[in-house]
Structure 1
Amino acid sequence: MESLIRLRLHRLGIDARTQVWITGVGEVDFVVGERLIIEADGRANHEGDGLRAKDLHRDAAAAALGYQTLRFTYAMIVHDWQAVAAAIEGALRRDTRQ
């Protein structure tokens, strides 16, 4: 799934670093620019409440460091890429205005 995202981001002209370690957060799937984290969640990530809670903790830790996290499911990435792309592009536009 990460290869699919990387390819689609490339087609949009968006450079993303993959498997980036952020101290206090851990390894994230993608970082775009300096502060946008993109996470691709498989079904296994949310089958149990514990994993969802762990993700939310990581997102909060990232926010405390000044990052914005966008988290997408497999279904969104595969079947609704336009919504995913719009969210990413919107976040990048907001970032350049600040």
Structure 2
Amino acid sequence: MSKASALTSANFEAEVTNSDLPIVVDLWAPWCGPCRAAAPVLDKLAEEFDGRVKVMKVNVDEEQEIAQAFNVSSIPMFVALRGNDVQDVAVGFSGEAGLRKLFEKLV
């Protein structure tokens, strides 16, 4: 079961702005092959970093306002946040090692 929660315009402030934990946001779409390939790796890292990093997923087809706020031009896109401050961004899926670096920068 995924530890990642859906991030929407409705819950953005509660989940991101008011979060005590740093966050990795996965911007994805159901039709995106690399996004689907990244999902199990992201779930594994979410489990490993549970309690230290929160993982949120944004379906860019459904949450275009959030996608625009993050200037999404290609997916998958992973954004590391502390509150509303962007710490790092990774575009594309470069395997577990690339995603792990994003998580490690936050802890």
Q: Do the two structures share a fold, i.e. TM-score over 0.5?
A: no
Q: Which of the two has higher C-alpha Rg? A: 1
Normalising by structure 1, we get a TM-score of: 0.34
**More RCO (CA 8 Å, sep 6+):** 2
TM-score by length of structure 2 reads: 0.32
